[in-house]
Chains A and B, each alone.
Chain A
Amino acid sequence: MDMKERMSGNEAVSYAIKQINPDVMPAFPITPSTEIPQMISTYIANGEIDTEFIPVESEHSAMSAAIGAQAAGARSLTATSSAGLALMWEELLLAASNRLPLVLALVNRTLSGPININCDHSDGMGARDTGWIQIYAENNQEAYDNFIQAYPIAEHEGVHLPVMICQDGFITSHAVENIELLDDKKVKKFVGEYKPEEYLLNPGNPVAVGPYSVSNYAMEAKKNQEIALENSKAVILEVAKNFKKISGRSYGLFEEYKTKDADYIMLIMGSAAGTAKQAVSELRAKGMKVGVLKLRVFRPFPAEEIAEALKGCKTVAIMDRCESYNGNGGPLGSEVTSALFRNKVMIETVNYIYGLAGRDFTVDEAKAIFKELEEQDVSGRKVEQYKYIGLRT
């Protein structure tokens, strides 16, 4: 039976894992994702699931063990945050290039320094070019729903890529909110049995995983990986369509909130999207035509779709919860402007850096951004195209 409940984002993801009952979970604790392996260990200790939990000595080992288990033919996963993901970096590339459909629950936290445990997207963004699919959540419900969709995407025959299910550290991971949980049987049926086509523990069909490849062949392997990532876009939408049938909840590559007639759109990812929507409701009540484009799927990057969705507006505020230290803007700022240019959508852009290392992002700040965009438009006086919001004054 479906159930109305209240739980934190970490509890929600752990509950999804429990319902899926994957084969192997190696993990090493790190704030704010520690609760996930902790809760899974409890489920295992209580005999509620039979996942093999491997307590490893580092995140490098966690990802290595997950890769090994997945290559052996087991449905695998791990969870981490921040420096934990950074320590996995080398292995992340191996998981993707060996086309292993494992899943990582990422609870987004900033990277050092200054050392800090709070949320921003610099961990996930640091792994943006590792070949993983990345899906971000606004709240606990989306973290839960996205996790249930992860394996059907990853294991699809046209994809065979690992998936990172991201949610904002503390802001959603530790906040108790209402949630609708799906019936166990529904989830099990939706995710299905894992039936790998080729795997190491199959004596009838011996394969090598991760062998050396000479230059004559290696480039094609990389191109094939890129094709798989492109293919995943259609698969993500297909899985979302099927998910709607069991949940009634709709998902796409991004969500458009009151964007259709909007003059000014805020493009934003993660928990702050809800805050931005509240600002839109309040400004709409005063007659301002504003909207929010909440990016859900960051990898593969839906460039054409974003350009299409933004082409009717005057200005887009591109919100980065990450600094990329290139002197030119954040990761979303760079990728969205490139998407607009290539698709010949010549609207104004302002790239805002917000919420680093847990700095709060408020409804008032979101409203101030919309007003700044309007003022720039009306006065013709340009604001900086790459700027910070929420700094101490």
Chain B
Amino acid sequence: MDKGIEIRWHGRGGQGAKTAALLLADVAFKTGQYVQGFPEYGPERMGAPITAYNRISADKIRVHSNIYTPDYVVVVDETLLSSVDVTAGLKKNGAIIINTSKSREEIAEKLGGYKGRIYTVDARKISVETLGKNFPNSPMLAAIVAVSNVMDRDTFIGEMRASYEHKFAKKPEVIDGNMKALEMAYDVIEAAMEDDKMSLSA
């Protein structure tokens, strides 16, 4: 794999970071790409820090090791920032996305001087608003797709609807909430990227 992107997910056991990584592999597969989605396993328990990974490429993927120099990092739980070096190896021309209610400026102080792009999404707020519960992984999934552009918005939304319709065949009432969560997170990132473009051209 010489082209393609590498993503590292940081979360806590039970928050669905692993599920989100597998969902991302799934949806990227459906757009005809080569994918890998895998968690780093240990003695899993609720609340313990966990790491999951994605490789997405137009070429066949042969490497079977963890990811040390990711293009993107997704932090599903901001309390990890004080204990895990989430920007370790993260490429300067890459980006980090953090689930937080804080602004980009506030969160940047906690990232050890990381020079690349920083995005924030209040996934908890979005999830509670759309699903009534805190399931941060759907908004974070939309956020990484928006930032990394592994596929366009319409394709992503279309594939996710099909995937949720299959997954929640017996609970159709949660489909609309999940779709709304994806759209809202996508909007947040698109707006932030638009801001970046404006400030660059200014």
Contacts and interface: CB of A to CB of B under 8 A. Distances in A.
A339 B22 CA distance: 43
Interface stretch (B7-15, B35-43, B103-111, B145-153): B35-43
Given A117-B43, A118-B41, A278-B1, A178 B64 contact: no
B38 A6 contact: no
A360 B66 contact: yes
Contacts of A362: 65-66, 68
Contacts of B37: 175-176
Interface residues of A, number: 27
A278 B6 CA distance: 15
B64 A272 contact: yes
Contact-size category for B: 20 to 34
A164 B143 CA distance: 43
B29 A170 contact: no
Contacts of A174: 38-39, 41
A274 B64 contact: yes
B63 interface: yes
Nearest to B64: A271
Give the residue among B34, B36, B61, B63 with the most A Cβ atoms within 10 A.
B63
Interface of A: 6, 32, 117-118, 138-139, 168, 170-172, 174-178, 271-272, 274-275, 277-278, 281, 358, 360-363
Interface of B: 1-2, 22, 25-26, 29, 34-39, 41-43, 60-66, 68
16 contacts: A6-B26, A6-B35, A118-B41, A170-B41, A171-B38, A174-B39, A175-B38, A175-B64, A176-B25, A176-B35, A275-B63, A275-B65, A277-B62, A358-B41, A360-B65, A363-B63
Give the residue among A32, A138, A139, A176 with the most B Cβ atoms within 10 A.
A176
A177 B43 contact: no
A278 B29 contact: no
Contacts of A175: 36-38, 64
A233 B37 CA distance: 35
Q: Which 5 A-B pairs have the closest CB atoms?
A: A274-B62, A175-B38, A271-B64, A6-B29, A176-B37
A176 B65 contact: no
Given A278-B1, A361-B65, 17 more contacts: A6-B25, A117-B43, A139-B64, A174-B41, A175-B36, A175-B37, A176-B22, A176-B37, A176-B38, A177-B34, A177-B61, A271-B64, A274-B63, A275-B64, A275-B65, A278-B62, A358-B41
